[in-house]
Structure 1
Amino acid sequence: MGEEDENLIRMAKQMGRDVPDKIKNKPQLSDDLIFYYQAFIDLDTTRTHNMSPTPISWLSIIEYARFHNLNDEDTNELIQIIRAMDRVNLKHVEQAFKDKT
């Protein structure tokens, strides 16, 4: 649980209110999935931001895998997972752009 969540819980208790559902029922990632989540967050910073959102580059994912000394099987899994996460993320970003216009 992050510092922001802890602050919200403390404030809710101080005010005599229930802890918000989004914190109380927050999904917990298993340890093996935290790596992929962090990888996506790190790799998201490598994308180019031109006129429209662009996917995370394959080369960036490969470099990330090399930095973390992943074997071929784990590298292929990283590529598949990051690309799947990125497709979903891009859909949300594209929809947000459409909603703004």
Structure 2
Amino acid sequence: MSGKDSDLIRMAKQMGHPIPDKIKNKPVLNDDLIFYYQSFLDLDTTRTHNMSPTAISWLSIIEYARFYQLDDEETHDLIQIIRAMDQVNLKHVEKAFKDKK
């Protein structure tokens, strides 16, 4: 649990409020998936959203896989997982762009 979550729990208890559902029912990331989550966060920094949202480039994913010395199967999995995560992320970013206008 992050320090921020701990602070919110403490404040809710002090004020006699229930622990917020977003914290109480927060999903726990399986240890096997932490690498992919961190990879997505790292790869997200390789792009810009200037005029419109842009996908994480295939080349960036490949370079990332090479840096971590992933084999062919691991690289394939990384590409598939990052692209799937990116599609969901881009939907949220596109909505935020539209809402801003």
One-letter amino acid matched to 2:7:
N
When normalised by structure 1's length, the TM-score is 0.94
Distance in 2, matches of 1:84 and 1:36, equals: 11
After TM superposition, the structure 1 = structure 2 runs for residues 43-82 of structure 1, keeping only pairs within 5 Å, are 43-82=43-82
After TM superposition, the structure 1 = structure 2 runs for residues 8-87 of structure 1, keeping only pairs within 5 Å, are 8-87=8-87
One-letter amino acid matched to 2:63:
E
Identity of aligned residues (%): 78
Corresponding pairs, count: 101
Q: Does the residue aligned with 2:81 lie in a helix, a strand or coil? A: helix
Shift of the alpha carbon at 1:49?
Answer: 2.6
Question: Which ranges of structure 1 fall in alignment gaps of 5 or more residues?
Answer: none
Q: Does the residue aligned with 2:48 lie in a helix, a strand or coil? A: coil
Superposed CA deviations along residues 10-69 of structure 1, whole A, max 9, x for unmatched, are 111121221111100001110011111111111000013321111101111111111112
> Which runs of structure 1 show a deviation greater than 2 angstroms over 4 or more consecutive aligned residues?
none
